[in-house]
Each structure stands twice: as structure tokens, then as C-alpha cells.
Structure 1
Amino acid sequence: MRLHKNLCFAVIDGLTLIFNEGHYADKVIQQLLKRDKRWGARDRAFVAETTYDIVRWKRLYAEIAEVKPPFDRDNLWRLFAVWATLKGIKLPDWKYFESTPTRKIKGRFDELSKIRKFKESIPDWIDKIGLEELGEAIWTKEIAALNEQADVILRANTLKTTKEKLQAELFDLDIETTILKGYPQALKLNERANVFTTQAFKNGLFEVQDASSQLVAEFLNVKPGMRVVDACAGAGGKTLHIASLMENKGQIIAMDIYANKLHELKRRAKRNGAHNIETRHIDSTKVIKKLYGKADRVLIDAPCSGLGVLRRNPDAKWKLEPAFVDKIKATQQDILQQYSKMVKAGGQLVYATCSVLPSENQKQVETFLKSESGKDFTLAKDKKVLAHKSGFDGFYMALLERKA
């Protein structure tokens, strides 16, 4: 592979924003890809994948390069040189790469690869909490899986098409996909492609949604005609899936504390042809109290550490703080206590997170069931999805039934 200066400069500029100014990697990469209209698919892929790679392996590369954050541009070029050397890319004769110790880089890599926190490039505290909660054998496999590049998974919108018709339509656009067994609406892209520019996406035939995330709406047991509350809807990935499972019949109330996310949900719902969704901004406890005892189904896709989705959000490793994880656990329990009251007698509730930590998952459900608010509920079933077993994001979901 031959390195091109304008592409490498884009990567360095992106890393400056992510590492030194706290910008989110996905937003930075979206901006970088608009920088030069002459870039082809390969150029754009290089910028996106190289940036994500260096973000993912920041701690390992910084240790090898002997640099510490905040990184100046010279230090970022040293990280880049480590990345290129380990990828077997010949460094060009540029001033940024003068006196790069290629042999030493490979030796340091072999040495550091014996220590998990360096090998998997994670902060000490994340390694410690993963080890405490999952045990050495499972945590070692799980964090390795969470460092792999995520596949692109589509969910066919059954309000407008079928999985098979969508696969055929994409094939005509030279986008090949594989049907995933056990995931009723999922298609996996065989090669990465910008599917958002396709007419099929603009017509609302599919959404991009990880396979594990697609299990959550299925877990909720919705039926056409029900009243369903998606209590932490965000921009609505699972809301839209619920709408398709309900065949646009019944009512979905999509709620969130962030009004801007609900605006995005409305836009997506229009594209998807989902007409049974009503959005409600949670700006006070009254919004929740009005629905006490009125929902057939409630989905609590709770805010969490996000440790199960590090494959697609590698910069989260460097933004997360131990104090946030402690705080979010208190928030999760509070949400369960309050939002569960929306479930009517005989109704069902799903509590879900994109975390792999039992303290955010099973233990939250256990605490809830022992509480005053949880005394009328029983655990029907739960599902723990680990990335190293499924090949997809780490997730947890528990189905709770309210006594009739």
C-alpha cells in the first residue's frame, strides 16, 4: 500500500479532534469524508478505517511510540508510524517518519502483547471491572472480540419490503449480503459499502442496526393493536423495529429526555412509513405518571456504560470514567422503579442494555424484583449476548411480567 499525504493529513487532523478536543469519532469521520469530493471509495475507507484503528489501539500505540496525551502533531505522526509499521506498510521518505525505529516497534509490540491491558488497549480501570465481573477467561475473550471491527448489519423494514426482496435489490446495486440465521430481518454486508446513498435506504427499505440490537424488539412480544411504550427511545432504532412488528397497528409512544433525538425519530419514522408512533418529550415526571398502568408493553432500553458496543464506538474507552459507570447504575435502577409503573396488570416489560457487565444487567433486575415497585413482577426469561460468542455487539435483555 502506498500512503498519500492528503489522506494521512486527514487522519492526523481527525485524531487531533478526537484525542485532544474530545470530539466523537463517528462525527469527526463524517466531516473528514466530506473534505475532498475527488476521493473515491478506497480513499474514504482508508481515512475512516485508519482513524478508527488508531483510536481503537491508542494505548498500545502510545506505549510503543513512547508518547503521552495530550498528543501534539509530531506525537500523532509517531502513532501513525506505529500503525503503518504493524500493518506492514512501507513508510515513505517524509520528514514525519524520519528515524522511525521499525524493528524496535515490532519488538515492543511482541513484548506488550503479553499484557492484556496493553494488548487490548484499554484503561486499567476497565480491565479491572471486566475481570471482577466476568472472570479472567470470559473477560479476556470478550474484550478481544470487542476490539474487532464491527460488521455492517441491516434490518429489513417489513412495512415496505421483505428480507429476500431487499437482498435482491441490493445485489442489483453490487452490494452483496448474507442472511443471518436466528435474526429474522437481518442482512450482513459481505463488504463495507456506503448504503446510506442508495435509493433503497432513501425509500425506507432498511435501517442499519446491529444483529444483537435487533433481538430486543423481538424479545418484547409485541402484537398488532397493542399500546407499547419505548421509554428511552433515543433516535428510534428499536421503536421503528417495534412499529414493523406491529404492522403499523396499535400505538407506540416513544419517549426520551432529549427532544432533539425524538425529532430525528420522527424523520426516520416518516422515511420508514411507520405511522403509529407518537413522540413524547420527558420534561417532567408528569409525562411518565400519566401512563401509569396503561401500557401492554414497556421497553426500557436503559442508558448504560456501552461496554458491549466498543467495536463501533472505540473512542468510548477513552471518554468513559469510573464515576460515570457508578452514576449510571443508580440511574438504571431509578428508571426501572419509575417506568415499570406504566405496565398494566398482565403486561410485560423488557429491560435492556448494551453492556456486558452483570452489575448493569442481571443485578439490576434482581434488585428491582426485591423492591416494592418490583413485587408484582416476575422474571419470565433473560438473555446475555456476549460478543465473543455471537460475533455481534454485547447486549442484555430481561423480560418481566406484571401479575394479572
Structure 2
Amino acid sequence: MLFLHRPQLLFIKERALNDLFSGESYIRFVLEKAFGSNRNWGKRDRAAVSSLCYFLVRWKLRIGWVLEVNLSDPKSWPLVVAFSMRMIRSEGASQELHRADYEEIQKVWPHFEATKEIESKLRSAISRWTSDEMPTWARHSCGQWLDEFSQSSLKDKYTKFWEISNQEAPVFLRTNTALTTAPELQQNLEASGISLDPVSEIGFRLKRRQNVFVTPAFKAGLFEVQDGHSQLIAPLLEIKPGMRVMDGCAGAGGKTLHLSNLMKNQGKILACDPSKNKIAELKLRLRRAKVDNVEVHHIEDEGFLKRHRERFDALLLDVPCTGSGVFRRNPEAKYSLCQEDLERLISTQRDILEKYSKVLKPGGKLLYSTCSVFDKENLAQINEFVDDHPEWSIDLVESWLPSPYSGDGFFAARLIRSN
């Protein structure tokens, strides 16, 4: 049962709420700050703070609507916290907070008292949580433009999409097949107290959220944390040991590492990205996974691509996108995304396709992927590219909506350059 003591509530008041409600910081950074500066907190304390922070961000517009408060006003915060604690604990049932809860809240907000008026407000808000009068942007707790755009884009999949996108995201692991096998990894992790369900020949889903990063298996590089549907992307490139492959938008390298496994650590992978921070993280992951067929390059100008024209057998482009398929992992994005962002991203995707596709040899394969569910970033983007470049043809198209059990929302299209 969720219970917050004064130290955790004090952090929520003084360090978390302003950042979370203003959109000035991501949840993961807020939690890193909390746990890093409060190393004496136990597992339950950390879990309680994490649950509350995610609930507050995931549902902040809906919370504001049902309580009829302005979340940017600090005066509303004790009521918001009390309501959120109640909703998390009872999963929406009308369960009263205990006297101990109010006592802890009052230690941080002395003016907040367990009056009949407060209890009435909480009961009313719980009733309004499922109100038919609630506008859809509040129900899904997202920006109004995004709500309208997703409805027009997803059509009959719109309701299900938002239902799953506001759930807690499951955690998936992928076996580093260069160092171990899936059965050996499962045995290793279960010996560390980690409960797993196999979801593929090399993939697992955690039965419950646990810290896998402190296990000896993680430190030994035996697995990577990677979404279930994300694990389906790299195999679609159909690469083989000995090939020359470019990962053009490598980021922190989740798919780069998977490509290396598929190539049995043979051949050459050139992993590129314009972000120095992501490149640094990728290098750390490569060392931990004991990968030696990947060369990392920080992209700074187009000259690099020109020098590598027609030198690769295969190309992965996991392009920047709206991230609409991973809202449940990054709920902050629901509030900031706007039409201008979408148009900018579509332009960036088109530019990347145009410039990077030239590094492939005739007959080479290009795999374009996003973690978006919106057609404008996906099939529409690919169709426009193929229409403008007759030497390219679409060989395969796959897409996945977010699922409670199997993974996030992704899109992939495999293209072939003619000889």
C-alpha cells in the first residue's frame, strides 16, 4: 500500500511538483535527483515516490479537471497529493485516507486539515474521474491538439491507444547472445530474485518492476533493457555476419547492440549520432556488452556521409519522431507536442532519408523505423520517398500499437535499392 512519510512528501513539495507540473524536467531526472540525494530511503519509499510522480504527470490534466484546480498554483498541491495518494492506493475506489496520511501531509503543509470540506472535495473528484461530461483531452490527459490529431489519425484505434498509453509500461530484457543464452540468463537472474516471463527466443518481460541494474548479470553485460516490440526491429534488416552496416541514428545504441548480436560480432557496424551524450552512453554499453565490431562516430557535417557513399550493405534509420508509441514511458511528451513539432520532425525524417540513403550500395537494404503510431511519420513518409526515388522499392512494412504485454508502438519499413 502506498504510504508517504514527511521526508518523501517534503521532496515532493520542494523539489518535484514545480518541475513536474511546469514541464521543466522529465520524471526520470526528478527521480534520479530524489534517489541520488536520499540514499537512505528504502525500497518502499522509492517505490511510493516513483508511483506518485508518475501518477501526477500521467494524469495531470485529468487531475486538474476533476479537482477544478490550477496545478501551477502551489496552494492546490496538498489537495492534489492527497487525491493522488487515494487514487493510487484504492485504484479509483472510494477509500478514505487514514489519519496517519493527513498527519504526514500536515507536517509538510500545516494549513491542510482533514475537514469535512476536504473530504467532500475528494469524494466529488473521485466521482468526476469517470464522468461522461469529461472532455476527451482531459480523459486522456493530453494537449487538445494532440487529442484531436490522434483521433483523426488513429480512427477506430484511438480509444484503445489512449487506454494503453496511460498505463504503466512493462519492462523487457533482451539476451546478449554473444555472451549467454536465454535459458542461462533466466536462471542467472532468477538466482538474483528477478522474476521473468519469456516473450521470445531471446526476450523476457519482468513479472513485476525490479531493479535489474544492480544484478551481476547486468554488470557482466549479459542483457540489455529493450522494449519487446523494439526487439523486433533489427531482425527485419536481414543482416548477416561479415556485412558492412550503418546505424544512422544510433542514439544510445539499443538497436546497434542487437545488430551486433545478429552479426555474431563479425563484419562492421558504423554507429552514428549527432548527440555527444548519446554517443558517450553508447560507448559505455558497447564496453559492458563486450562488443568489438562496432565503430562509433559523432556526426557533425554532411561531409562524412559523402565520403561513405555506396559503401554499406545495409542501413538502419531509427529516425527522430514524436514518440507517440512510447507515451506511457515518457508521459511528459503528451503535453508539449504540437503541430509545429510534428511538421519539423517530418521534415527532419525526410532529410535523413534523403541524405543517409546514399551510403547504400546498389541492392542494399534500408530499414526505416520510428516509435510513432502516426501515419504521417510512417507509411506516408516512406511512400513519398519511394515516389520521389524510383530506384527504391518497399519490400516490407510492419507496425505495432502499444500493448499491455508485448511492447510499445513502433513502425518499420524495409526498402531495397535496385541494381
- What CA distance in whole angstroms lies between the structure 2 residues aligned with 1:84 and 1:355? 32
- The count of corresponding residues between Structure 1 and Structure 2 is 398
- Larger mean Cα displacement after TM superposition, 116-125 or 389-398: 389-398
* C-alpha distance 388-244 of structure 1, shift in aligned 2 (>3 A): closer
Which amino acid in structure 1 is aligned with residue 149 of structure 2?
I
- What CA distance in whole angstroms lies between the structure 2 residues aligned with 1:394 and 1:189? 19
Which whole-Å deviations, capped at 9, do the CAs of 1:285-315 have from their partners, x for residues lacking one?
0111112111111000000000100111111
* Counterpart in the other structure of 1:86: 87
Of 238, 244, 248, 2:255 maps to 238
* Counterpart in the other structure of 2:33: 31
- What CA distance in whole angstroms lies between the structure 2 residues aligned with 1:227 and 1:34? 41
- Larger mean Cα displacement after TM superposition, 19-28 or 194-203: 19-28
Describe the SS at the equivalent of 2:102. coil
- Contact 2:220–2:288 (CA under 8 A) maintained in structure 1: yes
Q: Does 1:7 align with 2:8?
A: yes
- Contact 1:155–1:186 (CA under 8 A) maintained in structure 2: yes
Describe the SS at the equivalent of 2:70. coil
- Larger mean Cα displacement after TM superposition, 54-63 or 37-46: 37-46
RMSD of equivalent CA atoms:
1.7
Of 404, 409, 412, 1:394 maps to 409
Q: Does 1:157 align with 2:167?
A: no
Of 188, 203, 209, 1:169 maps to 188
Q: Does 1:380 align with 2:399?
A: no
- Runs (4+) of structure 1 moved beyond 3 Å? 93-97, 112-115, 388-391
- What CA distance in whole angstroms lies between the structure 1 residues aligned with 2:233 and 2:275? 21
The alpha-carbon deviation at position 21 of structure 1 amounts to: 5.9
% identical equivalent positions: 37
* Counterpart in the other structure of 1:119: 139
Q: Does 1:304 align with 2:324?
A: no
- Contact 1:3–1:92 (CA under 8 A) maintained in structure 2: no
Describe the SS at the equivalent of 1:254. strand
- Larger mean Cα displacement after TM superposition, 93-102 or 271-280: 93-102
- Contact 2:249–2:317 (CA under 8 A) maintained in structure 1: yes
- Larger mean Cα displacement after TM superposition, 313-322 or 291-300: 313-322
- What CA distance in whole angstroms lies between the structure 2 residues aligned with 1:227 and 1:289? 16
Alignment of 1:125-144 (within 5 A): 125-135=145-155, 137-144=156-163
Describe the SS at the equivalent of 2:66. helix
- Contact 2:247–2:256 (CA under 8 A) maintained in structure 1: yes
Which amino acid in structure 1 is aligned with residue 187 of structure 2?
A
* Counterpart in the other structure of 1:74: 75
- Larger mean Cα displacement after TM superposition, 350-359 or 77-86: 77-86
* Counterpart in the other structure of 1:295: 312
Describe the SS at the equivalent of 1:344. strand
The alpha-carbon deviation at position 321 of structure 1 amounts to: 2.7
The alpha-carbon deviation at position 261 of structure 1 amounts to: 1.3
Runs of 5+ unmatched residues, structure 1: none
For normalisation by structure 1, the TM-score amounts to: 0.94
Which amino acid in structure 2 is aligned with residue 42 of structure 1?
R
Which amino acid in structure 1 is aligned with residue 86 of structure 2?
T
Which amino acid in structure 1 is aligned with residue 102 of structure 2?
P
- What CA distance in whole angstroms lies between the structure 2 residues aligned with 1:15 and 1:196? 27
For normalisation by structure 2, the TM-score amounts to: 0.91
